[in-house]
Structure 1
Amino acid sequence: MQNRRQFIKKAGLAGVTAAGTSALATPYVRAQSPIRWRMQTYAGVALAEHVIKPAIDAFNKVADGEMVIELYTADQIVPTGELFRAMQAGTIDAVQSDEDSMAAPVDVSVFGGYFPSATRYSLDVPVLFNQYGLKEIWEEAYSEVENVTWLSAGSWDPCHFNTTKPIRSLEDLKGLRVYTFPTAGRFLSQFGVVPVNIPYEDAEVAVQTGELDGMAWSGITEDYTVGWADVTNYFLTNNITGAWIGSFFANTERWNAIPERLQTLFRLCMDSSHYYRQHWYWGGEAKLRTEGTKLELTTIPEAEWKQVEDAAEKLWEEIAGESERSARVVQILKNYRDTMRKAGPPYRYA
């Protein structure tokens, strides 16, 4: 300590001689305790390995000890349906989920997850948010909610049925007990589907015990990744929606408390996550349809499936009447759909 004091004293005197004043540079000292966040995803362990963990691992590495995000998977801290309130209260600092599943108290929550026929391909989601105005509408909606900040939306896989029984007509949907999202379940119930709400990690066992006949939750990539292809036999190629809309959220107080550079780093990692899912799901859907050996593919004829698409149109109008903001979203979806149809292949083939 004595030697250190002598060194500082000499350095200070040298500074006075050279510059006429004494100025000792303050060295950078890393905080003893890093900023710690707890983040929970909607995804179970196996799925989280792809849809979120790579991005959070990258964030923690680049943050270099200044901040650490502890990642929790589906229902580990709170049930998925309570995620929003837990984040708002500060029990959880950040969330990855769709609004529909976690009952976000905003009028746009119905469009999160699988809103019937809203998308055809995964690229539709980033285009709708970044070029057609959904980003600004989501920011507007969440600005009215206390202590929750919406950060970014991205696309996941399409919504198909994977079941223990074959589906080759709309008649085959009647009485099927399926694990699905709230709005998708509300929509499918008109065709005789019985929506069942259980924890994500319980779905596989529920099929094995006969409580469920399958899922209307994901594409074929997820079916194989999480084990659902091991307990079901059939995959319906018709989809309810071409891409799931999921988002990242943070507790506003916690978000505002971190330095801007860490906010920027988090945004870059969200973009990285969005990009990874684009190619992981897109390639996986095709590869497993053609090379997968666990699920037999079935299809409802296009002319018959049109009844489902027509019913989706009616749902759009119903939702548009619920709020002025919902009406704006529905109009954007219509405008986008019309543009894609006019553009023709490869944007739309029908």
Structure 2
Amino acid sequence: MLKKTTKLLVASALVAGLSTAAFAKDRVYKWKLATTWGSTLSPFIDAPKNMAKLAKEMSNGRLDIRVDASNKHKAPFGILDMVKGGQYEMGHSASYYWKGKDINTLPFTTMPFGMTAPEQYAWFYYGGGLELMQKAYKRHKVLSFPGGNSGNQMGGWFRKEINSLEDLKGLKMRIPGFAGEVMAKLGLAVTNIPSGELYTSLERGTIDALEWVGPGMDIKMGFHKIAPYYYTGWHEPATELQFLVNQRQFKRLPKDLQKILVTAMRVAAYDMYIQNYHMSADAWSKIATDYPNIKIKTFPKEVMDAMKKANDELLVEKAKESPLLKEVLDSQKAYMKKAREWTKMSDYKYLKDNL
């Protein structure tokens, strides 16, 4: 009787084990993702949507991620807190928005006069950048991954032409990240405003100037109707957005779904980069004919020199605030020095010799 009972218990355990394995394999994980962007702001909003679609397809429906735009959750600059607190399993935003909460998050978007997009991607995936980013976000109990790059951004829309440093002083400008601190050092009143409020703020005179992204996204916003002077870039040579993932929720995913999610994020991020490049190339090709009133400008040498000087001074000051920030900045500087030699030998020389 004892032997029969033992066999029944073993059989029951095996069945239970098989059922648990089958349940784990078939279980659907329903997640939510909050974005900083409005529902129509392409290609920024497209990156998380494409990621969610890829993750669902590759997992045969086992990983189902709902994407909530900022007009739904109403907290465009609350993404880090919502993912950290568990209201959302994921977020899509930009790391430099959190510099007021944690200065160590600042450099993972971009830095003035820093790396180009290919250089920065190489740093993230092969130069230790991704590991440093996880180190910075560990205290927030979230993981952070590259979320799509805008490439070199334009220097902004201005109501009046900038001919000297004096022309900048006192201007109210929307410009985030480290570039905002550079501009503040030069005498501007700097602010950050959600994308949905930018046109109205410029139209009403709440701000005198703003930088957004590039022609592919800017023209659709209509900034040129109010501020016709469009300056070339210096401040965001490789603006990388980010995917944020609640660390505890990520660990609860089966290993195969973890790999699927990481892969979907990487593919969607790169796709956003090339999508935005196409949008800007297409818009730029039409500017002269379709938007003849836009005046393309480059900041005068006096202004550029002052920006570089202010940037260098601020970098020295910021590096003293945190050992981790210094580690990240030193890593970026060293990698850029190495990569820039190849950038000059390949892309720069090719363009220089063939234009």
TM-score, scaled to structure 2: 0.80
Q: Is 1:90 matched up with 2:89? A: no
- Cα gap change, 1:231/1:94 in structure 2, threshold over 3 Å: closer, same or farther? farther
- Cα gap change, 1:204/1:57 in structure 2, threshold over 3 Å: closer, same or farther? farther
- Cα gap change, 1:78/1:90 in structure 2, threshold over 3 Å: closer, same or farther? farther
| Worse-superposed segment, 157-166 or 254-263 | 157-166
Opposite residue 73 of structure 2, the aligned amino acid is: I
Corresponding residue of 2:316 = 317
Q: 1:219 aligns with which of 207, 210, 214?
A: 214
Corresponding residue of 2:76 = 80
Opposite residue 101 of structure 1, the aligned amino acid is: Y
Corresponding residue of 1:338 = 337
Q: Measure the CA separation in 2 of the matches of 1:341 and 1:124.
A: 8
User: Shift of the alpha carbon at 1:91?
Assistant: 1.0
User: Secondary structure, in 3 states, of the residue corresponding to 1:76?
Assistant: helix
**Cα deviations across residues 69-113 of structure 1 (Å, max 9, x unaligned)?**
111223632523322122111111101122221457444212133
Corresponding residue of 2:246 = 251
User: Shift of the alpha carbon at 1:201?
Assistant: 1.0
Q: 1:207 aligns with which of 185, 202, 208?
A: 202
Q: Measure the CA separation in 1 of the matches of 2:272 and 2:48.
A: 9
- Cα gap change, 1:204/1:60 in structure 2, threshold over 3 Å: closer, same or farther? farther
User: Secondary structure, in 3 states, of the residue corresponding to 1:123?
Assistant: helix
Say if 2:104 and 2:322, in contact at 8 Å, map to a contact too: no
User: Secondary structure, in 3 states, of the residue corresponding to 1:144?
Assistant: helix
User: Secondary structure, in 3 states, of the residue corresponding to 2:217?
Assistant: helix
Write the mapping of 1:179-328 to structure 2, written as runs, cut at 5 A. 179-229=174-224, 231-292=226-287, 293-294=290-291, 295-302=294-301, 304-328=303-327
- Cα gap change, 1:168/1:42 in structure 2, threshold over 3 Å: closer, same or farther? farther
Q: How many residues align?
A: 327
Corresponding residue of 2:46 = 50
Say if 2:112 and 2:234, in contact at 8 Å, map to a contact too: no
Q: Is 1:60 matched up with 2:56? A: yes
| Worse-superposed segment, 235-244 or 28-37 | 28-37
User: Secondary structure, in 3 states, of the residue corresponding to 1:100?
Assistant: helix
Say if 1:113 and 1:246, in contact at 8 Å, map to a contact too: yes
Structure possessing the higher radius of gyration over alpha carbons: 1
Q: 1:123 aligns with which of 101, 118, 132?
A: 118
Q: Which runs of 5+ in 1 are unaligned?
A: 1-21
Q: Measure the CA separation in 1 of the matches of 2:315 and 2:158.
A: 27
- Cα gap change, 1:42/1:182 in structure 2, threshold over 3 Å: closer, same or farther? same
Q: Measure the CA separation in 1 of the matches of 2:126 and 2:164.
A: 37
Say if 1:125 and 1:154, in contact at 8 Å, map to a contact too: no
- Cα gap change, 1:137/1:153 in structure 2, threshold over 3 Å: closer, same or farther? farther
User: Shift of the alpha carbon at 1:49?
Assistant: 4.2
Opposite residue 144 of structure 1, the aligned amino acid is: R
Q: Note the aligned Cα RMSD (angstroms).
A: 3.1
Opposite residue 80 of structure 1, the aligned amino acid is: P
Q: What percent of counterpart residues are identical? A: 19
**Cα deviations across residues 167-223 of structure 1 (Å, max 9, x unaligned)?**
344443233222221432222112232212333211111122221223223222221
**Cα deviations across residues 98-136 of structure 1 (Å, max 9, x unaligned)?**
2221457444212133422222x2112211212222222
User: Secondary structure, in 3 states, of the residue corresponding to 1:130?
Assistant: helix
Say if 1:81 and 1:103, in contact at 8 Å, map to a contact too: no
- Cα gap change, 1:341/1:198 in structure 2, threshold over 3 Å: closer, same or farther? closer
Q: Measure the CA separation in 1 of the matches of 2:138 and 2:73.
A: 26
**Cα deviations across residues 242-271 of structure 1 (Å, max 9, x unaligned)?**
111322111122111222222222112111
Opposite residue 28 of structure 2, the aligned amino acid is: P
TM-score, scaled to structure 1: 0.81
Opposite residue 242 of structure 1, the aligned amino acid is: P
